[in-house]
Amino acid sequence: MRPTTSATVGRTGVAGSAAHSAPGWVVAADVLAKTLLFLAVARIAVDPGWGNLEGKAPGTRALTYPLLALVVPALHLAVGRARPYPWLADLLVTVPAFSDLLGNRLDLYDRVVWFDDAMHLASTAALSAGVLVLAGADAAPFRQRVQLSVAAGMTLSPVWELWEFYAFVTRSGEAPTAYADTLGDLALGWVGAVLAAVLLRGPGWSSRAHQEGTRAPGRRDL
């Protein structure tokens, strides 16, 4: 028998790593995060000042953040309905949008100097981990987890930066420092992606399906 390879990982497909019921706290956290997110964007759509988002594209956030939170449900409906719902991946993809709105609501971006940097690192880590779980790579060898996680993180992080740039940075006081800030955010995104690959292998993260092996009993790889 040989160690798990990328081909083995690929056979699991979307939601393949969630071959058993998710822990109750993951389901509860996902439902709570999504509920609070949708309530927050509804309030922000009516009153942008409530979320401390004046000049920070409140309307665009109110539109795009729910779409981000619906990515995993849409993928599950499209290709993974025969498998258990990937609650962990759904939570990981929802958290960045929810935490960004929460951070703005609490005015942490303006009051805490390092909060924006921490959010870029943590958000990229969460999104990269979500991709790993969806790809069934949460229990793959470390090198493969890093490769996929960095590929995902360094794809999604620039997308996030471009969204910020065109949504509000060009029309804000941040424009003169945007270039340097973007480079720092991309570097933090890379660190977050690597961190996701490291932490996802920790206790309680890897799925039972991968721990027990993805091959059927008695099957042998040549």
The predicted-structure confidence for 43-67, as pLDDT tens digits, reads as follows 988 888 888 888 777 888 888 899 9
**Nearest one of 92, 81, 113 to 193, comparing CA atoms:** 92
Q: Full-prediction pTM beyond 0.95?
A: no
Phi, psi of 107, rounded to the nearest 5 degrees = 60, 30
* Residue ranges of the chain whose pLDDT lies below 70: 1-21, 167-180, 202-222
Instruction: Return the pLDDT at 86.
Output: 94
Total number of residues shown for the chain: 222
Distance (Å, whole) CA 88 – CA 133: 8
Q: Which amino acid is at 67?
A: L
Instruction: Return the pLDDT at 119.
Output: 93
Distance (Å, whole) CA 175 – CA 163: 14
Instruction: Return the pLDDT at 3.
Output: 45
Distance (Å, whole) CA 183 – CA 53: 23
**Nearest one of 162, 153, 97, 103 to 125, comparing CA atoms:** 153
| SS3 call for 3 | coil
